[in-house]
Structure 1
Amino acid sequence: MPIGRFKRRAPVRVQPFYGYRNATRLVLSARAIRAGEPVFEKRSFLRDVRTMARQYLSHEVPGLAVTLEYTPENGEPVSQQVVTDAEGYALFDLPLGDGAPPPERTRWEEAVLRWETREGKVAAARAYVIAPGSQTRMGIISDIDDTILETGITGSFRKIARNWKRVMRQMPVDRVEVPGAAAFYAAIGGNPAGSREPAEAIDALAPRARVRPVFYVSSSPWNLFSYLVTFKRSRGLPLGPIMLRDWGFNRRTLGKKSHGSHKREAIEQILETFPELRFALVGDDTQRDLAAFGAIAAKYPGRIAAVFIRAAAGEPLDADEVAAKDMIAEAGVPFWSGSDYREAKSFLTSAGLDFGGGVKTLVRAASEGEMPPASPLPPAED
């Protein structure tokens, strides 16, 4: 069946992306496309390629009116209507008034998206919003590619070509997790959410919160949202809002500098939305994460609890990255870098999860190759 004909016949579906809120506003994005809900079940070579092709060859629906409805626990229902743009995106920034104080502990909350179908019926999709708890003092901001998910791609067309099977065929269950990532994120994020059936449609599975909220900032395209969520579920990695971007196969979007600027802007948005939280930043050395983290540490003194950089590329630091590392040190932010999270996890386990002070000893010891003395684990909430 020709792709164009398939797209015209496919139903309109609005895919909500994970949102987040504080006491006064709720931020959530969604995208209207003509496609069925993806199910990443490993079947055959051709079917797997077809499944992945449909993720990239999305057929966006512009001009669709979509309404977000949310009911705070202690307030009146609120709603906002947005018309999708030329790429099918709807960005909601919903004022919450005074009726939405944060919960005591970090949790996921539900909202609803509604839109009118071609037949005049009202369709709906459940959306999930993370609400950091009032007792929570720290969150995690993490990259995805080569930070939790091995890609073998560091920004060049040649490496993308060599790794085409990962991009165009492999289902989430086939993808390789960065060694030690699940245990490391369980340690810094709190109680693990556990794995879920990887092939099941993601909208049917409510996310489970960690003690500390986890936000993902990635240069991957929005088309891969469901794929990435399915991968994380299959590995027991924490779920959280994902700041992806509109992405094309060109040198402007594949270049390393564009990755850094996108991540800095997204991290700043998170920091300004949750001024009461400090954040641990986790990334790798393939997409300018160190440079972005250094700029953030300098601009937001006292807000960054620690920086973790996974050494994936094995290349020496360039001048910008050396300067960024110096900025992190000048800001008094503990810094750790290594090729395997299992090393970092051993230090975290030994030192406990005191990101308010003990992390300095932890990261210093990790950088010097020494094991810090053991200390008791903290309470469930930090």
Structure 2
Amino acid sequence: MSWLSPWASFVKRLVHVIARPMKRDRGHGGMMVHPYRGYGSSKEVFVMGRVFRQAALGRAIPRRGILRDTADVTRRIFRRGLADAQVNIRIGENDLTLKTDRDGYFDAHLPITQSLPIDVSWHRADIHVHAEGQSPVRTSVEVYIPPPETDLLVISDIDDTVMFTGVAEKLKMLYRLFVRKPHRRTAFPGVASLYQALHRGETGKAERPILYVSRGPWAIYEMLETFFQLNRIPVGPILFLREWGISLRHPWPRRAEAHKRMLIDRMLTLFDELPCILIGDSGQHDPEVYAEIVKAYPGRIKAIYIRRVDKDPKREKAIELLRDELVDTQCELVLAPDSVLIAEHAHANGDISAWGLQAVIRDVKEHREEERQEAQS
């Protein structure tokens, strides 16, 4: 049946992405290290990752193809974090040694006492891991440090701000992502061009850091990274996720109260001289959290952009009240129905170029035209 072909392609691509982290061990199993892209300043860098113990691939399993991918997905499901592994991280002449927590995670705060080159933004951090009864593992990861001339920090939510989060919408997104290949409607219309414009700034040549926060677990890291890359959204130094801690003994996600506030506090402290833009959505508590941050960091937040994801009058009224609370600050809260209004405000504030604004307008217009044609077909 011809209708099965796209879905078979969808499943094949999806399984391959989920299996991708398992390819690094070449089927040998044992201890594996999965570092996440890091970030930092001239004073300190942050590098996160996880150390796993995973099963070997059976000799009867082929080295590539859907059967190999399925076996790797199975290995991924049953792999376990390795606690108390010793992790040494070195960047330039700076190094730090720490141990993994009970879930195998490490979260390194590495002070920079020996200066790093300032003519590059991406630096390599070398990672060396030892654990009892396991062969040592060496790997590396990129760490982003903004150039000295950076003039703005952008912190964005992911869920319902960059991408849809409802179950039905996620299935549509994944289908478009892996069957129809790169397609701008896997993300909110205009998001890619908006974030590119914010990254490049008014001159079009800046390299501003864009840091992302999500309520999702680290297990979806590869999926999000693929989503960002195929949709031409600046990937940023790291996707801040949280460990849900789901296991047979703990079948429900661990509570992660103040997760977003804690991370934003960390970033604003690290980049203590940079003004900041916060981007979120109206569906959760982004407006309330962001309003608290404006009050806690007077003069630091240039604008709050809230994407309106529903038309609940009570919710809109609550956000309007928050906007009124910020009238006497230097920050304006903008409740936007689409990316165009955000881009217009950012351009008026001198935060994106005229070319960037036109790119957002063009992308949203093209999306609406595609929707119109689909409705007529």
Q: Distance in 2 between matches of 1:305 and 1:104?
A: 27
Compute the displacement of 1:109 (Å): 1.3
Does residue 300 of the first structure (1) align with residue 310 of the second (2)? no
Does residue 84 of the first structure (1) align with residue 100 of the second (2)? yes
Instruction: Tell me the TM-score normalized by structure 2.
Output: 0.70
- Equivalent residue, structure 2, for 1:17: 36
**Structure 2 unaligned regions, length at least 5:** 1-21, 56-64, 180-184, 358-377
Q: Distance in 1 between matches of 2:326 and 2:79?
A: 40
Structure 1 residues 170 and 33: alpha-carbon distance in aligned structure 2, compared to 1, 3 A threshold: farther
Conservation of the 8 A alpha-carbon contact between 1:26 and 1:94: yes
Render the CA deviation track for 1:283-338: whole Å, top value 9, x for unaligned: 11122111111110111111001111111133235476455333333323122222
Does residue 242 of the first structure (1) align with residue 263 of the second (2)? no
Deviates more, 1:317-326 or 1:331-340: 317-326
1:334 to 327, 332, 335: 332
Structure 1 residues 243 and 342: alpha-carbon distance in aligned structure 2, compared to 1, 3 A threshold: same
Amino acid in the other structure paired with 1:68: I
- Equivalent residue, structure 2, for 1:190: 200
Compute the displacement of 1:247 (Å): 2.1
Structure 1 residues 22 and 35: alpha-carbon distance in aligned structure 2, compared to 1, 3 A threshold: same
Q: Distance in 1 between matches of 2:254 and 2:287?
A: 17
**1:69-218 map, 5 Å:** 69-71=90-92, 77-97=93-113, 99-100=114-115, 103=118, 107-116=121-130, 121-152=135-166, 160=167, 165=171, 173=178, 176-190=186-200, 211-218=207-214
Compute the displacement of 1:12 (Å): 2.3
Amino acid in the other structure paired with 1:93: H
Q: Distance in 1 between matches of 2:154 and 2:269?
A: 14
Conservation of the 8 A alpha-carbon contact between 1:218 and 1:245: yes
SS of 2:95's equivalent in the other structure is strand
Structure 1 residues 79 and 340: alpha-carbon distance in aligned structure 2, compared to 1, 3 A threshold: same
- Equivalent residue, structure 2, for 1:67: 88
Amino acid in the other structure paired with 1:299: A
- Equivalent residue, structure 1, for 2:218: 222
SS of 1:330's equivalent in the other structure is coil
The structure with more helix, counted as a fraction of residues? 2
Structure 1 residues 254 and 60: alpha-carbon distance in aligned structure 2, compared to 1, 3 A threshold: closer
Q: Distance in 2 between matches of 1:53 and 1:326?
A: 52
Q: Distance in 2 between matches of 1:163 and 1:179?
A: 14
Does residue 275 of the first structure (1) align with residue 285 of the second (2)? no
Structure 1 residues 100 and 326: alpha-carbon distance in aligned structure 2, compared to 1, 3 A threshold: farther
Q: Distance in 1 between matches of 2:251 and 2:264?
A: 23
Structure 1 residues 124 and 296: alpha-carbon distance in aligned structure 2, compared to 1, 3 A threshold: same
Conservation of the 8 A alpha-carbon contact between 2:37 and 2:143: yes
Structure 1 residues 333 and 55: alpha-carbon distance in aligned structure 2, compared to 1, 3 A threshold: farther
Q: Distance in 1 between matches of 2:213 and 2:127?
A: 24
Compute the displacement of 1:50 (Å): 8.2
Instruction: Tell me the TM-score normalized by structure 1.
Output: 0.69
**Structure 1 unaligned regions, length at least 5:** 1-5, 37-42, 72-76, 153-159, 192-208, 363-382
SS of 2:327's equivalent in the other structure is helix
**1:37-52 map, 5 Å:** none
RMSD of equivalent CA atoms: 3.9
Conservation of the 8 A alpha-carbon contact between 1:291 and 1:320: no
Higher Cα Rg, which structure: 2
Q: Distance in 1 between matches of 2:77 and 2:177?
A: 15
Amino acid in the other structure paired with 2:192: A
Q: Distance in 2 between matches of 1:253 and 1:299?
A: 29
Amino acid in the other structure paired with 1:285: S
Q: Distance in 1 between matches of 2:175 and 2:149?
A: 40
Deviates more, 1:11-20 or 1:262-271: 11-20
Structure 1 residues 338 and 52: alpha-carbon distance in aligned structure 2, compared to 1, 3 A threshold: farther
Aligned residues with identical type, % of pairs: 26
Structure 1 residues 62 and 217: alpha-carbon distance in aligned structure 2, compared to 1, 3 A threshold: same
Conservation of the 8 A alpha-carbon contact between 1:32 and 1:61: yes
Conservation of the 8 A alpha-carbon contact between 2:30 and 2:134: no
Structure 1 residues 299 and 49: alpha-carbon distance in aligned structure 2, compared to 1, 3 A threshold: farther
- Equivalent residue, structure 2, for 1:345: 343
